[in-house]
Amino acid sequence: MMDETLTCDVLILGSGGAGLMAALHAYDTDPRLHIVLVAKGLVGKSGCTRLVQGGFNAVLHPADSVELHFRDTIRGGQFLNNQELAWELVTGAPRVIHELETKVGCFFDRGPDGRIHQKPFAGQSFDRTVHRGDLTGIEIVSRLHDQLFARGITFLDETRAVALVPAPAGDRIAGVLLLDQRSGRFTLARAKVVVLATGGGPRMYKYSAPALEKTGDGYALAYRAGAVLIDMEMMQFHPTGLLAGASRLSGMVLEEGLRGAGGRLYNAQGERFMARYDPERLERSTRDVVARASYLEIMAGRGTPAGGVLLDVSHLGAEFVRRSFPGMVRRCAEVGYDLTRGPVEVTPTAHFHMGGVKIDRHCRCNLPGLLVAGEDAGGIHGANRLGGNGVADSTVFGARAGETAAALCAELPLATVDLAAARAAQETALRPLGREGENPFALRDALQTVMWERVGLARDAAGLRVALATLAELAERAERTGVRGGPRWNLAWQQALDVQNLVLVARLTAAAALYREESRGSHYRRDFPARDDARWLVNVHQQQQGTAERIWDEPVALTRLRPESEVAVR
């Protein structure tokens, strides 16, 4: 039996930008709704949106246009994007910026003319990145948290989602099995609508940038429940992750604005190596190009002894760097670097999954009762996300998910849940407790090594097959983890649950990477180094059907822009 039960109208999993905006918009659409927001960490103090440094892309200047932002987004995604979702992103972003300033209370930097200041970001043809210094995410999350607190939204902190629970007929999602990490107690939550907004989870890589609690939970929950996922091979590596030895700061992002402002990358031989890879845009090339260039320099033996390259902004002037990037200056100082006066060692770092659950423009997926927003959703960014489009994605589609949830609550009755499925999920989650078995921390380390070496920035069939064999073994071992102690605040037990999700998401990523026999955006195959629009202008789909795992492709719908001419389709 469950320790507790809970009933609500809207249950939101995740407290980043998508989850917070979903809660705000659901409430403001219908204040009578009972809304519960569940956070694996602390609401307002965890998640990836809070870590956003660079900013938020939105068309605000009269000389800019949503058509131009759309074109940049599709070009950046190398035409793998769902173009209707990308159009929703670029047209919704200005409205959300207006809402964040005038309703939520965010303060964004302004120029001498009083307009919101917008800075340059790589891969964009106009300076359209709105920011609050270099700590934009903290500003957005803090203000959204205040708004929800004032509205009396129910928060469940340090609570993880264990499983999406269907109705007895299996025709919809009817609730979620939750686990309070502090008490070790389970709650079966029933809801008319569940919003999945847990964030991504490239923590399966040796160097990665997300918050520590982001372990692919949303992808794993959705996949086990039968959701269709797309483009899981598309893992973005940010070019400039801080190298700080064994510190947890290793892999944390040094924001893209540093390169946008004129930062330069050098190898250990003092060469400004981006001239070899993109002589026109240099360091302001798209993330996939810069990250791969850095990786290839390191692999060619031209990296630093620590296995990185050098990012230098000191030529911009110490005062300018301190004033423009105070958060980055402090972050570097914590591990002994002076960003204002010399180079900093950096490495590509796993940053953002462009793949995820397949959704429509209303955030609906193939599972009735489940909405998906933010990084848990796929299709918006195609093969490569532009810097500054991430927090725009989370807030634009988080708002849309909240509005859709409110509308569905007016139509859907509260369904009963499949108690047998909930009990089975609880039993599975409890297995590692109090038994001898595999060490989950050792499994995590082995997983991160194989993913970095075989499913990283440069891939090939031989390496991917080795990875899949290793991941199959790790999946079996993850089912045999054992941890000491009881259920209350047992970090080893939580790590065991994390590893099961990470291994599953890693397997999906590697399988999709083997399936796509071309190079496109963030997915680079040494054995298929060219982009092949004739065969691979498709989205790779994956779905669990019973005990079978199905993988297939479907053509990209070129509804607005075609690659052969880049002329808008009307």
Active site residues: 238, 259
Quote the CA–CA distance of 404 and 53 in Å, as a whole number: 29
Max Cα separation, the chain? 66
Question: Residues near 329 by Cβ (< 8 Å), separated by ≥ 6?
Answer: 321, 322, 339, 340
User: How many residues does this entry show for the chain?
Assistant: 570
177: part of which helix (H) or strand (E)?
A: strand 173-180
Question: Residues near 535 by Cβ (< 8 Å), separated by ≥ 6?
Answer: 517, 518
Question: Residues near 87 by Cβ (< 8 Å), separated by ≥ 6?
Answer: 70, 560
Residue 305 tokens read as: 């002894």
Quote the CA–CA distance of 534 and 181 in Å, as a whole number: 49
Quote the CA–CA distance of 419 and 417 in Å, as a whole number: 6
Torsion of CA 23, 28, 30, 32, to 10 degrees: 80
Query: Helix and strand tally (H, E) in the chain?
Result: 16, 19
φ, ψ for residue 544, nearest 5 deg: -90, 125
| Amino acid, single-letter form, for residue 92 | G
How do strand 56-57 and strand 118-119 relate by DSSP bridges? unpaired
How do strand 370-372 and strand 185-196 relate by DSSP bridges? parallel
32: part of which helix (H) or strand (E)?
A: none
Whole-Å CA distances, 345 to 203, 207, 449, 465, 478: 21, 13, 21, 32, 34
> Cα angle at 353 between 14 and 247, to 5 degrees?
80
Q: How many CB atoms lie within 10 A of CB 569?
A: 10
Write the DSSP string, 2-62: -SEEEEEEEEEE--SHHHHHHHHHHHHH-TTS-EEEE-SS-TTT-SSGGG--S-EE---ST
Q: Are 557 and 544 in contact (CB under 8 A)?
A: no
Q: Are 41 and 157 in contact (CB under 8 A)?
A: yes
Judge residue 548's burial from the number of C-beta atoms within 10 Å of its C-beta, 0-12 exposed, 13-18 middle, 19 or more buried.
exposed
Q: Are 510 and 549 in contact (CB under 8 A)?
A: no
Q: Are 39 and 158 in contact (CB under 8 A)?
A: yes
377: part of which helix (H) or strand (E)?
A: strand 377-378
